[in-house]
Structure 1
Amino acid sequence: MSPDPCRAGLAAAGSDGPLPLSAAQQEVWFAHQLDAGGAFHNCGGHIEFHGRLEEAHLAEAVRRAVGETDALRVRFAADAKGTPRQWPADVDAPLRVRDFGDENEPRRAAEEWVRADLGTPVDLEKGELFTHTLLRLAPDHFLFHLRYHHIVLDGYGQVLHWRRLAQIYAALTEGVTVSPTSAGTLRDLLAEEAEYRASAALESDRAHWLSSVGDWPDRISLSHRGVGTSRPAERFPASVPVGRINETAAKYWVPWSVVVLASTAAYLHRITRREDIVIGLPVRARTTRTALTTPGMLANVLPLRLSVRSDMPFRDLVRQVSAQVSEVLAHQRFRGEDLQRELRRTGAAQEPPGVVVNVLPFDGRIAFGALKGTLHQLSSGPVRDLSIQFLGDAEGAGLRLSFDPNPDLHDAAAVAAHRDQLASFLSSLVRADEQAPVGKIEILASSEQSLTASANRPPPGDRRVLPSNATYFAKDA
């Protein structure tokens, strides 16, 4: 393999020079250069508080948390050869405040502002890469909003940052000493990645992934926009509750994440009539203590390949998913982008998976001392086609489902119908016998036929000849 740019960059940087980008950051950097709007990689969410909030302490918590987080305190620039670099810098991190108390519907007005803020164009070399904003809805009701560019944090890094903010705020309000951070430095993260990319472990992971690329199936997408469709789908839609998945997981002796992944694969099989299913599975790509405690951008998306037949018991699909997820996690540090380049080189696949299923084992509850908050995750990364997200606690209680689509590819009514139908399908799985075949589990008959037809036909004007079992997919924007 060619020399790794991260390892070479660290060696050239010395102890205080510009640092290379992680492999994940490099992908974001080059993708951002192709983003005319400059906002495709914006991420964020907000914590909702009910109660007394000490704004001065929150502002100080923001200042301290940013001051000890290298990943946020960086500037980016390309060198004379066009290679991007980053280096720690003094970054201003004020807590901005906006008051919506005089609005007729303060919550709605604040949420509209948040969505507009996520559309703010970002200049990686000169612009703000993150912002913290406190939105006042009432004297005892607030939304604490964080927007960040994906090049500095991934979704896991965002949660680490929220938790550190909460820890500092609690200490300040209680009048006790703030405990030192347990996080490492950005240089630590990059050094660990460089070590991995020069190791036999990477070659082993690469061999594992390339062993299955010879007969890669066609890409699946639920996208269908054409004449007569409704308005384009919006990003960051509301979630819907899904009940009792934890009971089903206990019955099969697996985490609830395995049940929802199996359910989504079964749903895609029912809608598309395809048996060879590949979905994108976001993984942390963090296996060391430093990586698990340090905010940064390391996230990875790898393919989860499954064989689904209508006559197979759902129990068997759950077992297959459990085994395949274990394989993915065992090799999660190998970059999905590197695998995709190999697939394109061999002609096995030209596009990454159209459907990404993001499982977040976090119920959103977070305490800032005595002040209890609920995290509302809006986006932890760009969406090329469709991201299906499941959010719940470690036991699966309070599980919620949301669909985050690329608006250029998806119709609002179809996305809402798929979301509601998948939620209904999950409810049916809870009631179904474990021997029930995947093809017999109840699904909303009133919309199944129209959605199935939509998923399998090309849009008007498309003259390509498709095999009878093929699913049309739009080209990513």
Structure 2
Amino acid sequence: MSDREYPLTPGQQRMWFLQRVDPSDVSENLVTLRRLTGPLDPEAFRRAVAAVVARHEPLRTSFGESDGVPVQRVADRVEVPVLLHDLRAEPDPEAAALRLAEASGGRPYALEDGPLLRIELYRTGEWAHVLLLAAHHLVSDGWSIRLLLDELLAAHRAVADGGEPRLPALPEGFGDHVMWQRARAEGPAADRAAAYWAAELAAPPGRGLPPGSAPAAPAPDGRAHWVRAEMDAAAAAEVEDFARRRSCTPFMAWLALYQLLVGRHTGQSDLVVGAPTAGRERRADEQLVGCFTAVLPLRADLGGGAGFAALLERTRATVTGALSHPQVPYERLLGALGTARGEGQRQLFRHWFNLHTESAAGQPAEAGPLRVDDLPGLPAPTPFDTSLDAWPAAGGGLHLLLAYDPAVLDAAAAQALLDRLPVLARNALARPELPLGELSLLAPDERGRCCAARTACRTTRRRCSTCCCGRPP
């Protein structure tokens, strides 16, 4: 039975429609893994899950239609099972846990049935577990996962200590946010925002050349394709310090570097990169689980002989302008401007960037004797040519994960592309006034190999992809 029914946000409508078109699509599956070390009571954890699910409407929500219009239906009660797997007999218990978690987190959801949340515990030692928190993006986002983890651990601690979960009352539910968002999408402020975005995204750039040499397009396999790299703490600190000295955020600096990297490899001086924003503009939203994330299409101007310092200034203006005009949902822009793109694109951009600041909050305050450590995320297949995610690492560095479309890049080219980001960051900061097209993407020991590769490129008149310098022959 359902005790509440309300419309979808524009972002939810887009995801719901795409899932209806392809029910096997798992690109909106969110998967989070944590290593839990210390005393964990499975029964207390199940009671904690029940308390949190009862607290947040989206965790009891399914999606259907009413008179041909999609709606979300909130059930009075929903049981989210907590599956416990004992893997202590496995040769490598944690590796076995990661394999099982990848399989579980990668299964499609039945939107009309629910729940759209999966929680599993994998016991890997006497005092060690791996926790899987998986959800469809329709009912969650990165902020929500962090909030959910904090509340689960606080409730578990209370129950394990012989008490009852005591979580503060919520000021309102997700349905109230939906109605507020729909109301503010109309009126003079929304019209001004629509005019801003129409100008910002006018005469949109094309897709551009693929980064490097595109392989023969493989048959879609539904799997995520990705590579990893690390940014050391000293290099990451230099980027953030450079940004602060210019009144910019770390997000602006990393976005500018990624846009420059993509531009150098695609041969474009004008491109759009998509990025998420929390979308929680009211204080009440900060306490709610749900799909709040909004999409910002951020345009980069890499031309005019500017250096990285000038690019960062442009990026600050672009990001500030985008955040100042939130009244028009991205999905409305997509409907108004997307047809200009042609090519059957379902986005206004082909590249995505996300700096996961929500993972930098440290140990949950109410975890008690449990130690909680991050485990590498399990990415979903990306709908973009490239999708870069960056997470703060212990000690101050960054974990970098580049998901890619195998029809555009093969694994070796994707790894080479990602490996150039730390090199580009170092060179851009060392010579911030040097024209962007002259910044080297090569480490000193690679330049000799690059010269040989460029000689071959001049002979064949192909883009220099062997060395990944991104320069035309």
> Residue type of the partner of 1:353?
F
1:144 aligns with 2:140: no
- Residue 425 of structure 1 and its aligned partner are, at CA, apart by 2.4
**Cα distance in 1 for residues equivalent to 2:230 and 2:146:** 22
In the alignment, is the contact (CA less than 8 A) between 1:230 and 1:411 conserved in 2? no
Instruction: Choose the corresponding residue for 2:182, options 176, 182, 194.
Output: 194
> Residue type of the partner of 1:307?
D
Question: 1:252-287 CA distances to partner (integer Å, 9 max, x unpaired)?
Answer: 422211111111122122222221121111112221
**Cα distance in 2 for residues equivalent to 1:330 and 1:171:** 42
Query: Any residues of structure 2 matched to 1:341-420 within 5 Å, and which?
Result: 341-346=335-340, 351=345, 352-361=348-357, 362-363=359-360, 365-367=362-364, 368-376=367-375, 378=377, 383-385=382-384, 386-392=386-392, 397-407=396-406, 409-420=408-419
**Cα distance in 2 for residues equivalent to 1:396 and 1:201:** 43
1:56 aligns with 2:43: yes
- Residue 337 of structure 1 and its aligned partner are, at CA, apart by 2.0
TM-score computed with the length of structure 2 as normaliser: 0.83
Question: 1:333-357 CA distances to partner (integer Å, 9 max, x unpaired)?
Answer: 4222221221134458863211101
In the alignment, is the contact (CA less than 8 A) between 2:224 and 2:379 conserved in 1? no
In the alignment, is the contact (CA less than 8 A) between 2:61 and 2:72 conserved in 1? no
**Cα distance in 2 for residues equivalent to 1:223 and 1:168:** 50
Instruction: Choose the corresponding residue for 2:239, options 233, 237, 248.
Output: 248
SS of the equivalent of 1:39 reads coil
Query: Any residues of structure 2 matched to 1:66-145 within 5 Å, and which?
Result: 66-145=53-132
- CA distance 1:195–1:248, change in 2 (3 Å): same
**Cα distance in 1 for residues equivalent to 2:93 and 2:274:** 37
**Cα distance in 1 for residues equivalent to 2:186 and 2:92:** 55
SS of the equivalent of 2:57 reads coil
In the alignment, is the contact (CA less than 8 A) between 2:356 and 2:391 conserved in 1? yes
Question: 1:51-71 CA distances to partner (integer Å, 9 max, x unpaired)?
Answer: 332333322221111110101
> Residue type of the partner of 1:263?
L
2:334 corresponding residue in structure 1: 340
In the alignment, is the contact (CA less than 8 A) between 2:388 and 2:402 conserved in 1? yes
RMSD value, Cα: 3.3
**Cα distance in 1 for residues equivalent to 2:106 and 2:31:** 11
- CA distance 1:309–1:27, change in 2 (3 Å): same
TM-score computed with the length of structure 1 as normaliser: 0.82
1:316 corresponding residue in structure 2: 310
Question: 1:7-66 CA distances to partner (integer Å, 9 max, x unpaired)?
Answer: xxxxxxxx9542111221111111101114243322111111233323333222211111
Percent sequence identity over aligned pairs: 22
In the alignment, is the contact (CA less than 8 A) between 1:183 and 1:294 conserved in 2? no
1:10 corresponding residue in structure 2: none
Instruction: Decide which moves more: 30-39 or 76-85.
Output: 76-85
- Residue 190 of structure 1 and its aligned partner are, at CA, apart by 1.5
Instruction: Choose the corresponding residue for 1:226, options 215, 220, 232.
Output: 215
SS of the equivalent of 1:143 reads strand
> Residue type of the partner of 2:431?
D
1:4 corresponding residue in structure 2: none
Give the unaligned 5+ runs of structure 2. Answer: 464-470
